[in-house]
């Protein structure tokens, strides 16, 4: 093996190591960002303020909200996924989706702003999810602001 080949192999190995390190750093940043988003979706203003964001309460009179209405629920495109489509947003800006666990506690899965979304991380078979409507960073309190539905995932 020539000296040029050895040098080229060493350069390729060094590039792979640097690329792997950068990927790991990016994944860690994405995990931190996801934790921040979930914290804000849960109304944890303390987490948001620690991250450097200054949050202010809504100063206008909030619009009256009606109930959330689900149009359809069906299995999603992948394993452990379900697709939910809302017929009415009920005046809410955002929706938080939680999964009911075996011990009757709830685990936050995702937060959405769209009226059609895919829920990931479901066990196969039937599960109960709870969708809570949010106006700004405040969860809805009226009738129809929180709904529970059964979803099926493959």
**Residues with Cβ < 8 Å from 40, sequence gap 6 or more?**
47, 48, 137
Query: Could you give the count of Cα atoms lying within 13 Å of 71 in the half-sphere of its Cβ?
Result: 11
pLDDT of 120 reads 87
Alpha helices in the chain (DSSP H): 3-41, 45-50
User: Within a 10 A sphere around the Cβ of 15, how many other Cβ atoms?
Assistant: 10
Question: What pLDDT, in 10s, does the model give residues 95-153?
Answer: 999 999 999 999 988 888 888 988 888 888 888 999 998 887 788 877 888 889 888 88
Q: Which two tokens stand for residue 149?
A: 């539905």
Give the pLDDT confidence of 14-55 residue by residue, as tens digits: 788 888 899 988 888 887 777 667 666 666 555 555 555 565
pTM of the shown model:
0.58
Report the chain's terminal Cα–Cα distance, integer Å. Answer: 53
Per the CB < 8 A criterion, the answer to whether 98 and 132 are in contact is yes
Residue 126, SS3 per DSSP:
strand
């Amino acid at each position: 093996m020539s000296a040029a080949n050895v040098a080229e192999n060493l350069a390729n190995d060094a590039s792979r190591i640097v690329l792997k390190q950068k990927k790991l750093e990016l994944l860690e940043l994405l995990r931190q960002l996801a934790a921040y988003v979930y914290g804000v979706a849960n109304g944890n203003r303390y987490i948001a303020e620690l991250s450097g964001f200054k949050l202010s309460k809504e100063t206008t009179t909030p619009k009256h909200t009606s109930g959330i209405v689900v149009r359809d629920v069906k299995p999603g495109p992948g394993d452990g996924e379900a697709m939910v489509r809302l017929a009415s947003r009920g005046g809410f800006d955002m929706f938080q989706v939680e999964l009911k666990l075996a011990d009757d506690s709830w685990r936050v899965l995702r937060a959405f702003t769209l009226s059609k979304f895919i829920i990931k991380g479901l066990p196969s078979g039937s599960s109960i999810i709870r969708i809570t409507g949010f106006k700004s960073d405040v969860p809805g309190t009226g009738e129809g602001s929180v709904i529970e539905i059964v979803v099926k995932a493959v």
